[in-house]
Amino acid sequence: MNVAEAEFAFRMGGDLPRRAASYSVEEVLAAVATLHPAIEIPDSRYEDFTRVGAPQLIADVACACWFVIGPEVRADWRARDLVQHGVAAWRNGALAAQGSGANVLGDPRVALAWIANELCTYGEGLRAGEVVITGTCVTPVPVVAGDSVRMDFGEFGAVEVGFA
């Protein structure tokens, strides 16, 4: 797909096992140990993933492929509004895109709860130690061999990756 995405990564500190009732956002956040800035490098088996339809994208793991996780956020992220939290994407030292947590299903915390509940419905839930990335905060940044990308989450830190 040749793009990079800026994403919030939540490392789980407690289990969220399968259960009949949905988990609330508050319950899911209580199970989170740490927050990290991350870069996802999505990919697909399909040449034109935009035209294959939902069942094929699901079978293709929703284009998930690689991600780079940055250091643990030291700021008190639980007290911050992740919806309004700004993120800047830099490619080869030039600003390539800007966005915020609002681009992640309206709120990355809500996206995390949705993922947790989907995994409880169709899988075994989430386990301590697992990392969940919740969706891009910026328009995906096109990349080619030789590019370097830095996703800057402000006071939450930054993460970088280079493409060979």
The full set of domain ranges for the chain reads: 3-162
pLDDT value at residue 149: 97
Helices and strands counted in the chain (H then E) = 3, 11
pLDDT value at residue 123: 86
- DSSP states of 70-108 as a string? -PPP-S-GGGS-TTT-EEEEEETTEEEEEEEGGGTTT-H
* Contact yes or no for 18/46 (Cβ under 8 A): no
pLDDT value at residue 42: 75
For the domain with range 3-162, which CATH number is right: 3.90.226.10, 1.10.630.10, 3.90.850.10, 3.20.20.70? 3.90.850.10
For the chain, 164 residues long, give each residue's pLDDT as a single digit of tens: 688 999 999 999 999 999 999 999 999 999 999 999 999 987 656 566 556 666 665 554 454 667 999 999 999 999 999 999 999 999 999 999 999 999 999 999 999 999 999 999 888 999 999 999 999 999 999 999 999 999 999 999 999 999 99
* Contact yes or no for 137/106 (Cβ under 8 A): no
pLDDT value at residue 45: 61
Q: What is the dihedral of CA 27, 33, 37, 42, to 10 degrees?
A: -70
Q: How many residues does the chain have?
A: 164
Distance CA 130, CA 34 (A): 11
pLDDT value at residue 58: 56
pLDDT value at residue 33: 98
44: helix, coil or strand?
coil
pLDDT value at residue 70: 97
Give first-to-last CA distance, the chain, whole Å.
Answer: 15
pLDDT value at residue 122: 85
